[in-house]
Structure 1
Amino acid sequence: MINTQSQHNSHPNWLVGSPTKVQVAAALWMGSIGLLILGLQPILLGAMFTEARLNLDELALVATAELITIGIGSVVFGLALSTRHLKLKSAVMMLLIAGLNQSMFYAHTPHKILGIRAVTGLIEGGAVAVAMELIARSRHAEFVGGLFVTLQTVAQSLLALLFALWVIPHFGSNGGFSALAIVGIASLALAALVPSYYGDLPKQAGSAGGVLSLKAIISLLVIVLLIMGLGAIWAFLEPIGAQNGIDGKTVGVMLSASLAVQVVAALVATSVAQRLNYRAALAGCGLIVIGSAAVLSQKPSLAVCWVAVILLGSIWTFIVPFFVALTLDADPKRDTVLLVPAATLTGAAMGPLAASVFIVDGNVGPVLPFSSSVALGSMVLLMVFILIARRRPVTLRT
């Protein structure tokens, strides 16, 4: 049932409801809590590997499982559950995330670690849905999406620095998960500031939108393939650097520098998202992935490698608001925008997994043409989407 407020809302910034800036910030923080693990996984899983809690194969499985379940959780919570009683739901999710992170103290086998992280991912996905549901109701969804990316990136960067310099060296992996539990408990205060109810999105008369429409499916495939190409290079950056004569320490410095660049990229994307056409932004990012893969395959100089890594790192956060714009264009009903995190996480998980099939005897060279191929596939689908999109106007964009 669509409520009267949804049908007649005239707020300049919201299709339905009128959340305050504090409420918006609280909702976006809930989603940021759900995605904190993305920036901390390398540190936490690396610590568990060092402590012999996981071997390399188990580490990869745990990382992939949590990424996938975050995506699943965001879809289930976003499409199957209502946006009523959000204060209570947010508080429960923060408590569950805190409890599951603290329970890592008692995960003494790889199977228990895998189980806990998979369940945690489902709840984290629910927290992401709290933010995405709000973004879907904004008349300026690209801008609010950019704010979301900026907030989560800053939080990940600050916590990654704290974990690397103090938490992990002094308290190990369990200390890191305890720190995440503390963050979850502290976030209960902000959960109380989330709107109790977002309101139902207005229906579009005569709209053929929806997540099962051809345009929506193509838009999601564009996202998955582009992130697959990016993720494949990113996951194997250290061995790729080694084949180009760059030692692991230098690659580590490059990756650390890219975190700072990602914060800047998120800020830039937020400021230009409403002025820069998403088609141009996505095409540009796709060309960067393809070009960087080509450059890295030619044994470039250290300076050129630096440029390629910084450009690739910036895509992670710069591109998200334009994914939002793409899915809004694909689906006027705004259901598809809720699937952006799931599509992004699926691509991030599938990229390294699919690329690993082509690695033989430790030679990571084939990863680069694989990355170029899937990124090119994303660009082809983007062109198909543009051709299809010209057939009818989008009715909900303002």
Structure 2
Amino acid sequence: MTQTPAAEHVVHEAFGPPLTPPQASAAIAFGVVSLLISGLLAVLLGALAEEHRLSARGIGLSAMTEALTMAITTGVAGAVLKPHRLKLIGAVSSVALCATNLAVLLVHNDLQVMAVRGLCGVPEGLLLWITIGMIARTETPDRWAGVMFTALTATQLAISASMAGWVLPKLGANGGFALIGVLSLAGAPISLWLPARYPPLPKVEGETGAPPPRGWIALAGTLLYVSAASAVAIYLVPFCIQAGLPTVVARTATSFSLAAQVLGGALATVAAGRVKYFVVFVGGVVAYGAVYLVYGFAAPAWLFIAATALSGLTAIFINPFLVPMTIEADPSRRAAVQSGAVQLLGAALGPFFASRVVSQADARGALWLGMALLCSGLAVIAWLRFTRTQAVA
């Protein structure tokens, strides 16, 4: 077999042969397509609520349903599917995602919105599984996760600007979901550049495919940490209204948040391998605490926008460090392959728990919930960090 010169590769895998630049770019692009709506969902669901097609509780439940089906799909795919026929899976999933996003145009109540967003989670989960499979096999997963999140947020920023300035004011929620649906089709031609398959992860003789105990604990810490952020972020529009601000402030805040996320992703890419993950998570708790304080009071528009931007920067800067934290706990990387699914599960459970503590008139209960989850997640991560020497021994 003819070998491609190493200089032509940008991704040297920890397991298997290196990937060519087009293959790596295609895998990252699928992560962008799968998560494209994530940074815009609060505004889009908020627009449905403004049109009386969704209740306040329905916002959280719809976000939960989508993230849950996405998490289950990604987790099952990682545990059961062999990473073969990636081109076909990518193309079919992209077309299915377009169709399910367009189906939102036909729904008018909580149950219908939840059902359609839940269906969206299936193709999104398969697309994300392709990206996670590539990242988990690289020598620097935190760096490549940072690249993916930077590309994602830059794309979301451009879309957010068009939504806030024209799509939502002129076409309403239907226009926003239609735009996301059409953009989802980009995955179909991109699939042509994917590798045909990924190499298998190594398995020690006598071991099952399940992560070891410390791997499960790392996944639990991930679950708690991500749940906190999603529990609060999905209620951005209600927080804005309860602060006495017009909803246009929430849309503007979303655009600033996405711009800050581009910076956060770039900083995470640069910091990968240089900054310890535990320092990042401690700083994240402090930053989120400041944001939640602003959301809890009647802050002026500029402070609300600034706090939302800080929240976005913090979320994207932290996310890539979840993978090396998990790999340190489980060097076999079996837990790392499931990290994406667990993050999605956290993104589902956060809004679900928050929907239990908010009302149509007051969403601030989500702030207390978010802080409790953050501190619990940090406690788990701290235990892993300070017991690693004993584990190695």
Q: TM-score, normalised by structure 1?
A: 0.84
The one-letter code of the counterpart of 1:340 is S
Answer yes or no: is the 8 Å Cα contact 1:74–1:126 preserved in 2.
Answer: yes
Distance 1:242 1:165, change over 3 A: closer
Match of 2:114 in 1: 114
Match of 1:8 in 2: none
Distance 1:310 1:103, change over 3 A: closer
Distance 1:336 1:364, change over 3 A: same
Cα distance in 1 between the residues matched to 2:105 and 2:13: 43
Cα distance in 2 between the residues matched to 1:78 and 1:106: 33
Higher mean alpha-carbon deviation, 131-140 vs 36-45, is at 36-45
Cα distance in 2 between the residues matched to 1:177 and 1:293: 29
Correspondence 1:330 to 2:347: no
Task: For residue 228 of structure 1, report the CA deviation from its aligned partner.
Answer: 2.6
Match of 2:151 in 1: 151
2:40 is paired with a residue whose SS is helix
Task: For residue 269 of structure 1, report the CA deviation from its aligned partner.
Answer: 0.5
Cα distance in 2 between the residues matched to 1:215 and 1:182: 42
Answer yes or no: is the 8 Å Cα contact 1:330–1:389 preserved in 2.
Answer: yes
Distance 1:211 1:268, change over 3 A: farther
Match of 2:376 in 1: 377
Cα distance in 1 between the residues matched to 2:18 and 2:371: 43
Cα distance in 2 between the residues matched to 1:185 and 1:365: 37
The one-letter code of the counterpart of 1:370 is L
Answer yes or no: is the 8 Å Cα contact 1:210–1:336 preserved in 2.
Answer: no
Task: For residue 222 of structure 1, report the CA deviation from its aligned partner.
Answer: 1.5
Q: Structure 1: 5+ residue runs without aligned partners?
A: 6-10
Task: For residue 204 of structure 1, report the CA deviation from its aligned partner.
Answer: 5.0
Match of 1:310 in 2: 309
Distance 1:167 1:311, change over 3 A: closer
Q: What percent identity do the matched residue pairs reach?
A: 27
The one-letter code of the counterpart of 1:156 is Q
Match of 2:198 in 1: 198
Answer yes or no: is the 8 Å Cα contact 1:86–1:197 preserved in 2.
Answer: yes
Cα distance in 2 between the residues matched to 1:107 and 1:384: 46
Cα distance in 2 between the residues matched to 1:152 and 1:359: 30
Matches within 5 A, 1:1-398: 13-15=12-14, 16-107=16-107, 110-203=110-203, 211-237=210-236, 240=239, 249-250=248-249, 252-293=251-292, 308-359=307-358, 362-393=361-392
Cα distance in 1 between the residues matched to 2:368 and 2:102: 41
Q: Deviations over 1:214-260 (max 9, x none)?
A: 21122122222222333333344555566667665545543431221
2:37 is paired with a residue whose SS is helix
Higher mean alpha-carbon deviation, 179-188 vs 272-281, is at 179-188
Higher mean alpha-carbon deviation, 286-295 vs 30-39, is at 286-295
Task: For residue 93 of structure 1, report the CA deviation from its aligned partner.
Answer: 0.9
| RMSD of equivalent CA atoms | 3.2
Distance 1:103 1:331, change over 3 A: same
1:39 is paired with a residue whose SS is coil
Q: TM-score, normalised by structure 2?
A: 0.85
Distance 1:177 1:249, change over 3 A: closer
1:374 is paired with a residue whose SS is helix
Cα distance in 2 between the residues matched to 1:187 and 1:368: 36
The one-letter code of the counterpart of 1:77 is A
2:387 is paired with a residue whose SS is helix
Answer yes or no: is the 8 Å Cα contact 2:72–2:345 preserved in 1.
Answer: no
Q: Structure 2: 5+ residue runs without aligned partners?
A: 4-9
Cα distance in 2 between the residues matched to 1:177 and 1:296: 27
Answer yes or no: is the 8 Å Cα contact 2:164–2:251 preserved in 1.
Answer: no
1:23 is paired with a residue whose SS is helix
Cα distance in 2 between the residues matched to 1:294 and 1:209: 45
The one-letter code of the counterpart of 1:30 is F
Answer yes or no: is the 8 Å Cα contact 1:327–1:336 preserved in 2.
Answer: yes
Alignment coverage as a number of residue pairs = 385
1:13 is paired with a residue whose SS is coil
